[in-house]
């Protein structure tokens, strides 16, 4: 398949210096930050060192990051809060809802732990039932998931893309059903935001959380949390000095919570993280998610084709609506740890997850880099 072109002015080596040396295919793990994100942190460091009075300006710039994050998922900026990571955003939901004994949370048995332990905690504390649907051959059967809905189902909590299989759940279909049944829908979108189209309105998503350090190409420690406008007043936030309407009127205590998603932000921001994420989101917006996904789709198709020729078993579904940026595969004979180590010695990065091999290229990777990986992998 032809790789959709990048703008001619886009210099891959300049925008992603990692590509000068490494064939890096672990964007589902921790990504290199975009060069422009790195530049934003350097500028911040210099300003913080020399002109600390810029605090006000940084907080204004933070609103640009919020707007870009909102645009990425078709939300209103008033529905976006900054969070430390995906886990914190999910914890906002787990700790913010008033749970009742007998409520049911429906999820899968192959979630990343950040989308498991908060629900186990809620189950322990409030007598909520946490139901986990298993995976079959790298897929979640949506019919099986939906069949597990009962009149007590209070929330469906799942990943848009599952981290170990790369399986893309049909969140639009699940969200539509949840909305008609009055069930809350909470999505861990760290494996989709920045690579696949995400539309919280079209997908009827109520809560979404995604850290910046994977497909968003930002640094660790700064994520985005989306809460549907109508639900903001229903979620009890962790309280600090900033959640209130007159946060900067320090001495006049007025405990009136903000009406927008900033009510979930309890204190000072991770400013370098916010500025860097903003710069990374500018890069993604410039290329556009459709082009990003078409490139990743073409690169992963090329990879899958080559892997099959070399005798590997593909675990990830490659169906049109189930594929993602993650390709999980297995060797019938070779030791996976040895493969990962050997590739690293050739400056090629893939990882092992749940004993599978996992490669996750991003839009700036090239067809030549995929060939490099295919040549370096042992055959059968």
Ligand X SMILES: Cc1ncc(COP(=O)(O)O)c(C=O)c1O
Closer by beta carbon to ligand X, 187 or else 298: 187
Are the C-beta atoms of 275 and 212 separated by less than 8 Å?
A: no
According to DSSP, the β-strands at 351-353 and 356-359 are antiparallel
Closer by beta carbon to ligand X, 6 or else 210: 210
d(C-alpha 278, C-alpha 66), whole Å: 8
Closer by beta carbon to ligand X, 160 or else 262: 160
Q: How far is the CB of 223 from ligand X (least distance, A)?
A: 6
Distance of CA 209 to the CA centre of its chain: 7
Closer by beta carbon to ligand X, 4 or else 29: 29
Q: How far is the CB of 94 from ligand X (least distance, A)?
A: 13
d(C-alpha 279, C-alpha 108), whole Å: 34
Q: How far is the CB of 240 from ligand X (least distance, A)?
A: 20
For residue 267, give the DSSP letter: S
13 three-state secondary structure: helix
Six-digit token pair at 183?
A: 């069930």
Q: How far is the CB of 115 from ligand X (least distance, A)?
A: 6
Using N-to-C axis directions, what is the helix angle for 271-287 and 55-72, rounded to 10°?
A: 40
Q: How far is the CB of 328 from ligand X (least distance, A)?
A: 12
Residue whose token pair is 């903001």: 232
Q: How far is the CB of 191 from ligand X (least distance, A)?
A: 5
Closer by beta carbon to ligand X, 139 or else 258: 139
Six-digit token pair at 186?
A: 């909470």
Q: How far is the CB of 367 from ligand X (least distance, A)?
A: 26
131-169 CB burial, b ≥16 within 10 A, e <16: bbbebeebbbeeeebbeebeeebbbbbbbbbbbbbbbbb
Closer by beta carbon to ligand X, 19 or else 114: 114
Q: How far is the CB of 90 from ligand X (least distance, A)?
A: 8
User: What sections of the chain are H helices per DSSP?
Assistant: 12-15, 35-50, 55-72, 86-96, 117-126, 142-147, 171-181, 271-287, 289-309, 336-345, 367-376
d(C-alpha 298, C-alpha 294), whole Å: 6
Q: How far is the CB of 156 from ligand X (least distance, A)?
A: 15
d(C-alpha 223, C-alpha 218), whole Å: 9
Tell me the CA distances in angstroms from 143 to 184, 216, 217, one per residue in order: 18, 31, 34
Closer by beta carbon to ligand X, 165 or else 191: 191
Closer by beta carbon to ligand X, 87 or else 365: 87
Give the residues lining the site for ligand X (CB under 6 A): 85-87, 112, 114-115, 159, 163, 188, 190-191, 211, 223
d(C-alpha 18, C-alpha 31), whole Å: 10
Closer by beta carbon to ligand X, 349 or else 377: 349
Q: How far is the CB of 199 from ligand X (least distance, A)?
A: 19
Closer by beta carbon to ligand X, 19 or else 324: 324
């Amino acid at each position: 398949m032809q790789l959709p072109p990048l703008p001619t002015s886009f210099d891959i080596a300049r925008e992603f210096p990692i590509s000068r040396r490494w064939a890096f295919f672990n964007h589902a793990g921790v990504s290199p930050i975009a060069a422009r994100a790195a530049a934003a942190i350097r500028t911040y460091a210099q300003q913080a060192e020399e002109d600390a009075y810029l605090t006000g300006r940084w907080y204004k710039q933070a609103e640009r990051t919020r707007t870009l994050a909102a645009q990425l998922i078709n939300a209103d900026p008033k529905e976006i809060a900054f969070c430390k990571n995906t886990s914190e955003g999910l914890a906002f939901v787990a700790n913010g809802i008033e749970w009742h004994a007998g409520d049911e949370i429906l999820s899968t048995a192959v979630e990343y732990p950040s989308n498991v332990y908060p629900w186990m905690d809620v189950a322990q504390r409030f007598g909520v039932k946490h139901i986990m649907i298993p995976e079959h051959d790298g897929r979640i059967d949506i019919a099986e998931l939906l069949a597990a809905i009962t009149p007590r189902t209070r929330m469906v909590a799942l990943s848009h893309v599952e981290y170990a299989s790369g399986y893309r759940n049909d969140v639009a279909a699940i969200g539509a059903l949840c909305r008609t049944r009055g069930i809350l829908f909470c999505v861990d979108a760290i494996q989709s935001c920045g690579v696949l189209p995400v539309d919280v309105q079209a997908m009827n998503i109520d809560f979404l959380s995604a850290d910046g350090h994977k497909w968003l190409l930002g640094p660790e420690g700064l994520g985005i949390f989306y809460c549907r406008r109508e639900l903001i007043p229903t979620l009890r936030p962790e309280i600090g000095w900033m959640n209130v309407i007159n946060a900067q009127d320090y001495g006049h205590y007025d405990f009136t919570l903000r009406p927008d998603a900033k009510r979930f932000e309890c204190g000072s921001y991770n400013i370098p993280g916010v500025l860097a994420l903003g710069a990374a989101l500018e890069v993604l917006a410039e290329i556009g998610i459709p082009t990003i996904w078409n490139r990743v789709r073409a690169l992963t198709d090329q990879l899958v084709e080559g892997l099959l020729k070399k005798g590997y078993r593909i675990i990830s579904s490659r169906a049109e609506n189930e594929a993602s940026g993650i390709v999980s595969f297995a060797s019938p004979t070779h030791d996976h740890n040895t493969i990962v180590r050997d590739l690293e010695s050739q400056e090629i990065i893939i990882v092992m997850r749940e004993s599978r091999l996992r490669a996750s290229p991003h839009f700036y990777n090239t067809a030549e880099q995929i060939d490099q990986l295919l040549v370096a992998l042992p055959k059968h």
